[in-house]
Structure 1
Amino acid sequence: MRYLMIVKATPMSENGEFPPDAEKMFADMAAFNNEMIAAGVMLDGAGLKPSSEGKRIRFAGRGNTLVTDGPFAETKELIAGYWLIKCKDMAEALSWAKRIPFDEGEVELRPFQEPEDFQGLASDEAIAQEQAWREAQQRNAPRTPA
């Protein structure tokens, strides 16, 4: 099952700043990422630029959108980065999340909706198509050496 580990933004990350020990932080994160890659857990991960460089798109009916430029007010509702991981269950995903080399901050761990979760709601063909897309994405994804 796939899980998203969502790194919550902080006032520092929203200002586009890095901590004074950024070199150590990057080394620790690289070691953690390499460990997850070697274990076959990490599918993707990245930091995000501050919301001042982003946009929000609100939908009010098809074709009716409102675009708002960042920055956005509520830092506690923003994300600064993520990992996409694949684990056998929530316990395994949580064990990885607890090992993130952060001194402080917050990470939210959420499971993905998988195609089989829609059994009885979507057609078997639609579910099979979604599974085929996921398999194609994994086959075509760039490979990072561990």
Structure 2
Amino acid sequence: MKYLVMVQGTHADYEAMRGKASEGSPAWSEQELQAMYAYMGAIGDDLSESGELVDAQGLTDPALARQVARGPDGKAVITDGPYSETKELMAGYWVVDCASLERVTEIAERVTGCPGPEGQTGRPVVIRPIQDGAGDI
């Protein structure tokens, strides 16, 4: 079965990776960023070697996001990010094809071990099965 493994973060986390600290999101050094990229890259390499990797991407700063919604008048309302009402957002993802929920949970547990600056608040990793057909809701 295919699963979406979503790495959660906050706008403050993106700011911290640029060197601007806040409560729960200490500033990252260049060495810490490289360690994080190497760690996540190793997970991707291992999943590729095992044949479980379908796709994996990190997402850009939420300030570059755009939200499109339908307003009460039926017309599109377009808002550029970041969105102050959004506490957590998807920072990156893997699409994996795994034999079981237990296996994808092992992968998510590994992701939560990603290195970062001391004092960083851990962010959750969310697993969602991907629908195979119309009847899987």
**Fold match by TM threshold 0.5:** yes
Q: Aligned partners of 2:71, 2:87: CA distance in 1, in Å?
A: 25
Give the alignment partner of residue 102 of structure 2, picking from 52, 69, 91.
91
- Report how far residue 59 of structure 1 moved: 2.7
TM-score, reference length from structure 2:
0.74
Q: Aligned partners of 1:75, 1:16: CA distance in 2, in Å?
A: 17
- Runs of 4+ aligned structure 1 residues displaced above 4 Å come to none
Query: Which position in structure 1 is the counterpart of 2:124?
Result: 106
Q: Aligned partners of 2:36, 2:89: CA distance in 1, in Å?
A: 21
Query: Which position in structure 2 is the counterpart of 1:78?
Result: 89
Higher helix share: 1
- Report how far residue 31 of structure 1 moved: 1.2
Length, aligned pairs only? 117
Greater Rg over alpha carbons, structure: 1
CA change 1:16–1:43 in 2 (3 A) is farther
Give the alignment partner of residue 47 of structure 2, picking from 7, 25, 36.
36
- Report how far residue 17 of structure 1 moved: 2.1
The answer to which structure, 1 or 2, has the higher relative contact order (CA under 8 A, 6+ apart) is 2
TM-score, reference length from structure 1:
0.70
| TM alignment of 1:6-85, pairs within 5 A | 6-10=6-10, 11-13=12-14, 15=15, 17=17, 19-20=28-29, 21-60=32-71, 64-85=75-96
- Report how far residue 75 of structure 1 moved: 4.5
- Report how far residue 16 of structure 1 moved: 7.0
Please provide the CA RMSD for this pair: 2.3
Tell me if structure 1 keeps the 8 A contact 2:17–2:33.
no
Q: Aligned partners of 2:53, 2:85: CA distance in 1, in Å?
A: 29
Structure 1 unmatched runs, 5+: 122-146
Structure 2 unmatched runs, 5+: 19-27, 116-121
Tell me if structure 2 keeps the 8 A contact 1:52–1:70.
yes
- Report how far residue 26 of structure 1 moved: 1.4
Supply the AA of the counterpart residue of 2:69.
R
Seq. identity, %:
29
Query: Which position in structure 1 is the counterpart of 2:3?
Result: 3
